[in-house]
A and B are shown apart, each in its own frame.
Chain A
């Protein structure tokens, strides 16, 4: 019953959202409706300059195919200059303007693929974002059965069929706005289903914020701190589109700073560098109703 009440609240909020792009805090009753059980946690404790825990994380290296499909300009490395602990309980991903391996920028992209994957739950991270024209940070998720190179394995499927959930991404030239999206077949890339949340007179690159989703069968709620700013449900799919790849497979997480690319445009001379994405913690919970 309580869950239903919560959904009702969410729908009401969703209606308001179209007018204001912001929602007030959820009704207290809604939050008490379900219990969160911690299943994954990385607090990034360790010495300054130390590597992140590779039991949890993989490094992705290079520039992918065509800038990871987005004409991105950075070369991802696993060097401490691009990703390491800061000794104060944070992980720092740093995008730099430097010549490296034939590219003008370096950065880092880490994933939990094959190390932590699950279906549903609350996925959250406390992050101080980078901000600057042409900078594209993201905390996001992909279906664990993603096909990275063409194969004949029926168990793997390529993007966008595999599904993508963007807990947050932002355009560095709009440092007050976070975007939460889902991508699937028929609604990917520029056609993704998205909701934005704009801070009033503040910036995501000035302080830490908790970015989270709560992923349930048939719907996903998006949060900034305790504010649920969007809900995307199976009913939001574009007309004629039916595939909702978010009820089938576990997903893994990714965190990265891209530089340039089709989503954000290119950095310019006046773009500040280096750029840092400072992550206090990443946590994943089961939601027990």
Chain B
């Protein structure tokens, strides 16, 4: 038996941190000739398989690992990890890497299997393969694998075995005790296998999201967040996090963005391109879009009735105080639109003059009373009027309290002279969700060391693409239906209760219930969660009917708490076989987020049809 235990001092991040990272993407092999590496399946059965060696992580408890000749799964020896107390001064976790020098050809296998048990129920933080001290091109990990006190078999599927022509990383793990106290973990019968009883269910890159980045030439972007989910032989799902190099990538336009085999995207031109991936020939979820299609001109902002200086800003209010300040030699103020033509016919705009000899970074800041809401998009648009074309306009956003350290900015050139045009500042990917951006700074002709020449510029309509251009000032009703899927056309969403039963007829869907036995009214119920504010007035509207067989019957309809004491404001509604529209106004006698609209129909037998339900705050 050949055993090589070594301690290697390597920079090793704590497991929790490692989870989020796929480190460098150096290929393990360097264009070696066609592989003829051994295809040995066994990693550890009773002894270390040929060439296998173990290296502990330098920051781990390096003596945690040993071969155990007493405890084993149907054999004479197992791998044992004495997982230390997390407070152990010699290292608070157990972990290391089993590798083979030169590597093995694993192309005939689709899974790494092993048995494991522990001295107490635990979750192994990370366990997988494909990690060596030279690289981790094909690293594959299972996270939080639960282990009990009996031997159980575990599976870590190989996302794409065809890629593993030379893989040195046979097994690795990093584990800190869940509750901080030491325990023993045994692993045995570790081998690669080819099982037809493992079915791939889904695969994803970028956490399955369709992401967008700007088309800034020269930028690079590493595809991450790749995972594959399998249906294991026991009928349970298991996901593994997979190195991006398992996937095959394609760019829809190589002149705009290229992508290499490790998932590294490089922006090489302006325009729109899509990066998509396949795994073993099958499409996977998630994509990366580089650049944006040109947006239609944004609407004119109307903030004449706004309650605060908040986005969108049109400078139209005569009652608000817009906190505008020109600095470093810029003279700025709100004036009547000097050129109410073209795309900007509105009344009031900002005028800013870069006085003679002012700093090149002379500009205008606007302090907002409410931070910018980027939930609709991270694309900021603004209308400008400039006496010069092809000069850069810098738009910067920052937090008033933090100042310049929080600043993000984008430069966009003007393209017209002496007329209104719209500039698009795409902050996608730049916005830090932890920062409240409540200051907008605008610089015209932002060219280093070029002093001001007395030119006057105008700007207006600060707007987040896709948001509501009318700034109503918040608060109050807003007039929209507070309910989702009120017309029941959206399938089984939003509504609940044992009376929830959508039927569709002739293209219209509605809720249909037929009560067979009379009981308490609430025995048969249809509800939808909606926040109700005490003392506010609500208008509740719906259509309802029964069927000819029932003739007439009543139901109870209204609003109420969705938890004890189930306080409610309701009406008794008499239904006939003719569809009628019912409208009631309630002033809420209660208030909670966990409230609902409700239809109680269990007190009488017969059919209840309900459609087009709306609740509007008055």
Q: Which residues of A contact B (CB under 8 A)?
A: 81, 98-102, 106, 131-135, 172-176, 201-203, 205-206, 268, 270-272
Contact = CB atoms under 8 A, between A and B. Distances in A.
Contact of A271 (B233, B237, B496, B497): B237
Contacts of B492: 98-100, 106
A272 B201 contact: yes
B197 A133 contact: no
Given A99-B492, A176-B197, A201-B195, A268 B500 contact: no
B385 to A, nearest CB: 53
A33 B496 CA distance: 58
Contact of B498 (A102, A106, A131, A202): A102
Contacts of A172: 235
A101 B527 CA distance: 11
A175 B236 CA distance: 11
Contact of A102 (B235, B238, B500): B500
A272 B233 CA distance: 12
A271 B498 contact: no
A132 B236 contact: yes
Given A272-B201, A272-B231, A202 B501 contact: no
B40 interface: no
20 contacts: A99-B500, A100-B500, A101-B499, A101-B500, A106-B492, A131-B235, A132-B231, A132-B237, A134-B235, A173-B235, A176-B233, A201-B195, A201-B196, A203-B196, A205-B199, A206-B196, A206-B197, A206-B199, A270-B237, A271-B235
Nearest to A96: B492
A89 B231 CA distance: 26
B231 A202 contact: no
Nearest to A132: B235
Contact of B235 (A98, A100, A174, A201): A174
Nearest to B198: A203
A270 to B, nearest CB: 4
Nearest to B511: A101
Contacts of B498: 101-102
- Main secondary structure on B side of the interface with A: loop
B234 A173 contact: yes
A201 B197 CA distance: 6
Contacts of A132: 231, 235-237
Interface in B223-265: 231, 233-238
Interface string B467-499: 000000000000000000000000110001111
Given A131-B231, A203-B196, A270-B237, 5 more contacts: A98-B492, A131-B199, A133-B235, A173-B235, A203-B233
Nearest to B195: A201
A81 B492 CA distance: 11
Contact of A272 (B197, B237, B491, B500): B237
Contacts of B196: 201-203, 206
A40 B423 CA distance: 69
- Of all A-B residue pairs in the complex, the 10 with the closest CB atoms, nearest first, are A102-B498, A173-B235, A270-B236, A133-B235, A132-B235, A270-B237, A172-B235, A101-B501, A100-B492, A98-B492
Contacts of A272: 201, 231, 235, 237
Contact of B236 (A81, A98, A100, A173): A173
Contacts of B199: 131, 203, 205-206
Contact of A202 (B197, B236, B238, B500): B197
Contacts of B233: 175-176, 203
B497 A102 contact: yes
Contacts of B497: 102
Contacts of A201: 195-197
A99 B231 contact: no
B236 A268 contact: yes
